[in-house]
Structure 1
Amino acid sequence: MTLEINCCPNCGSEEVSRNGQTRHHKQHYKCRECGRQFVLNPAWKPITKQQKELISRMLLERISQAGIARVLQVSEDTVQRYVNSQAAAVKKQVEVTPKQKKRLSVQMDELWSFVDSKGNQQWVWLALDAQTREIVGVHIGERSAVSAQALWNSMPPVYRQCAVIYTDHWSAYDSVLPSKRHRSVDKDSGFTSYIERFNCTIRQRVSRLVRKSLAFSKKLENHIAAIWRFVHHYNANLQL
């Protein structure tokens, strides 16, 4: 049976025939010219470029993916697919302003988080330039010397060569950082105040890091990408 009232959305041909029903009991059609299968007035529609830009901006605020879906009036699956597609594209390397080889000051700390369940702990290790307030090192992993080494390796060479590093008394730092430039201090000393303040900032801005939240990550890749996305946004806005 050929339907004269319907045209193929792919090639515009009117040579269209019925082709069963979808799982939602909507009439399925097939184009005899190009083979395209389609339904009339589909419920699912691709998100627009403007919606993608809005999603990217809202992901940098304390808004859950379910909240984004409600605001934009799209499905949660649509938002999740976009987040998944963007996760792989996020650059996982710090971008900071060039520094001369001179005495630099860095503050380090680790931030607790989890993926899927609180038994799957993922510590966010951060290094911050005390002068410029830039995040100069990031690693997400277990709370061990291996992660401390990964944080050290993530920093630009000029910091590894010149910086004096202030940390708390966590033993993992002692086994990794150069002893002559490592200062282990108490929190009330003030020498780690900037990185501790940033920990509060990132918890307030990234909903996945809120301690008691339903917006936690279910995939490690998306968790890591969300943190790196905010770090890039934070550093870029410091330079404006």
Structure 2
Amino acid sequence: MAVVQVACIHCQQTINVVKNGKAETGHQRYRCKDCNKSFQLEYRYNGNLPGTHEQIIKMTMNGSGVRDIGRVLEISPTTVLGSFKKLDPPTVTQLPFENAQVKIIFEMDEQWSFVGSKKQQRWLFYAWEPRFKKIIAHAFGSRSTETLKKLLGRLARFKVSFYCTDDWQPYTSCLPEDKHIIGKHFTQRIERQNLTLRTCLKRLSRRTICFSRSIDIHDKVIGEFISRNHYQQF
């Protein structure tokens, strides 16, 4: 007689996994006595399969739209949007040296996308550390001094040597004059990062039919990309 070990999809244990009845679809259910969670190995709907959420996010981070993901994974757009709603990305990194006497250089810039229609623009403000090639913090809002101040509040914990920006007036009024360097020559690297964001995320592409209808989802998807590629690698 062949015996198949069933591993818990939550804690990976195999010893204390027992049968736990059947689902309405007729598929066998199991329960792990170690973590006290139930699970199935087979599902009628692909959206319930283990790992589907992570596949959705990875495809989004590589330029796939909601309907693209639905067609490839054979799930509904509603399931894809549901995965976006569960995201909770941070807005600032945790540098290992943020409490030390280390001076930071920030290149700062902003880029726009839209929510619902191009009349409702949504701006991403962020700070880039050129020596580490990482985004350090970001903020969303209108292209205004208020959004810039929100970003600067998230940067307040760091010891800044100087800021590099273009000649947009709010930068001049909000940043200390003795630490502020103005000129496109000093923001070339963050401008290149803008291109990376537009390439990887359809929502930030200049010419796209892929856009968010919800500010919450818009901010979470872009924030998740920044978190995965910049905040989690220090």
The answer to whether the superposition gives a TM-score over 0.5 is: yes
Corresponding residue of 1:198: 193
What CA distance in whole angstroms lies between the structure 2 residues aligned with 1:217 and 1:175? 32
Structure 1 232/195 Cα, relative in aligned 2: closer, same or farther at 3 Å? same
* Contact 2:163/2:180 (<8 A) preserved: yes
2:111 is the counterpart of 1:111: yes
CA contact (8 A) 1:140 1:147 kept: yes
Is contact 2:91-2:137 (8 Å) kept? no
Contact 1:96 1:235 in 2 (8 A): no
**Contact 2:108 / 2:127 at 8 angstroms: preserved in 1?**
yes
C-alpha contact 2:127 2:137 (8 A) present in aligned 1: yes
> Normalising to structure 2: TM-score of the pair?
0.76
Please state whether the residue corresponding to 1:162 is helix, strand or coil.
strand
Query: Using a 3 Å threshold, how does the CA distance of structure 1 residues 108 and 69 change in structure 2: closer, same or farther?
Result: same
Number of the residue aligned with 2:204: 209
Summarize the Cα distance change of 1:79–1:196 in structure 2 as closer, same or farther, 3 Å threshold. Answer: same
Work out the CA distance in 2 between the residues paired with 1:58 and 1:97: 30
Distance 1:97 1:231, change over 3 A: farther
From 173, 176, 190, give the equivalent of 1:175: 173
User: Which AA in structure 2 matches 1:94?
Assistant: T
Q: Please tell me the root mean square deviation across aligned C-alpha atoms, in Å.
A: 2.3
Match for 1:210: what amino acid? S
Distance apart, 1:94 and its partner CA: 2.7
Tell me if the contact between 1:125 and 1:147 (Cα under 8 Å) persists in the aligned partners: yes
Give the match's secondary structure for 1:107.
strand
Say whether the 8 Å CA contact 2:162–2:181 is kept in structure 1: yes
Evaluate the alpha carbon distance shift between residue 47 and residue 9 of structure 1 in structure 2; reply closer, same or farther with a 3 A threshold: closer
**CA 1:95/1:207 → structure 2, altered by over 3 Å: closer, same or farther?**
farther
Find the partner of 1:166 among 143, 164, 167.
164
From 223, 227, 230, give the equivalent of 2:222. Answer: 227
Alignment pair present for 1:138 and 2:138: yes
Q: Secondary structure at the match of 1:213?
A: coil
Q: Deviations over 1:8-67 (max 9, x none)?
A: 846x9xxxxxxxxxxxxxxxxxxxxxxxxxxxxx97564212212211211211110110
Aligned residues: 196
SS in 2 for 1:221: helix
- 1:75-114 equivalence runs, <5 A: 75-84=76-85, 86-87=86-87, 89-99=88-98, 100-114=100-114
1:112 and 1:90 mapped to 2: Cα distance?
Answer: 19
Which residue is 1:67 aligned to?
Answer: 68
* Bigger radius of gyration among the two: 1
The Cα offsets for residues 173-214 of structure 1, whole Å up to 9 and x where unpaired, read as: 1111111101111x2x2x111110110001111111112212
CA distance in 2, matches of 1:201, 1:74: 28
Q: Percent same amino acid among aligned pairs? A: 27
Tell me, in whole angstroms, the C-alpha distance in 2 between the residues paired with 1:169 and 1:132. 24
Report 1:7-46 matches (<5 A).
9=23, 46=47
Q: Distance in 2 between matches of 1:104 and 1:237?
A: 18
CA distance in structure 1 between the partners assigned to 2:120 and 2:133 by the alignment: 30
Equivalent-residue separation in structure 1 for 2:136 and 2:191 (angstroms): 15
User: 1 CA distance for matches of 2:64 and 2:152?
Assistant: 31
Per the TM alignment, residue 223 of structure 1 is displaced from its structure 2 partner at its CA by 0.7
**AA paired with 1:119?**
K
The answer on whether the counterparts of 1:110 and 1:124 sit within 8 Å (CA) in structure 2 is yes
Flag the structure with higher strand content.
Answer: 2
